[in-house]
Amino acid sequence: MEAGKSEQIQQQQQTHRTQRDRMDIKQILLFGLLFGLVASGWSLRSNRCLPEQDLKDAAERELRSHFQEPPQNQKPLGPSYSCPVEMFTQQPPTHLKDRSLSPWGYVRETMEDHFPSTYTRALCLCTGCVLIQNSKLVESHDYNSALVVQSMVFLKKELCRDKEKYRLKPVRVEVAVGCTCTRANSTP
């Protein structure tokens, strides 16, 4: 009688394990299906063809919910600029772009048929780096100012097959966001 009860318990445990394993497989399949639907949601929406008047709203919605926007509202550089060595002798500036040994400013760029269509990018103000040499602030060309870039997503407007509507295609663009001081390239 004891052996029969032990067999019955083992069968119940085996049945329970089998049901649990089936449940795990169901959960994995359900999770995979759900993940696939969510992941493809962006591509399904971005491949939709829209009338031109609806593109801007759709682009703003997608950029806001999925991607970091490129830097905006930076004060652009004027038509003439130079390495601001003298600025370092004055009151210490508060912004990182002005305190850097490789200071930078911003220029506004336009990309037609993209959202956003305008953005700002960094531009190094010095070819060398601002250093103290012989107790004087100088632009030293023993070092170089180099752009720091970040890959950002823009939405490109593309004409659909019907030649009347457009779709938004995500594209990555390298955008300069600042400058840094590096050792000069030298060949032996």
Find out if CATH 1.10.10.10 is the number for domain 47-183.
no
* Distance in angstroms (rounded) separating the CA atoms of residues 158 and 173: 16
Report the DSSP beta bridge partners of residue 139: 130
Spatial contact of 102 and 122, defined as CB atoms under 8 Å apart: no
Domain ranges of the chain: 47-183
Element (H, E) at 143: strand 143-159
* Distance in angstroms (rounded) separating the CA atoms of residues 39 and 27: 18
List the chain pLDDT tens, one digit each, 188 residues: 566 666 776 676 666 555 555 545 555 544 444 444 444 444 445 578 888 788 778 887 877 766 555 455 566 676 677 888 877 777 666 677 667 789 999 999 999 999 888 889 999 999 999 988 888 889 999 999 999 999 998 999 999 999 889 999 999 999 999 999 999 876 55
Q: Which of 14, 118, 37 lies closest to 76 in space, CA to CA?
A: 118
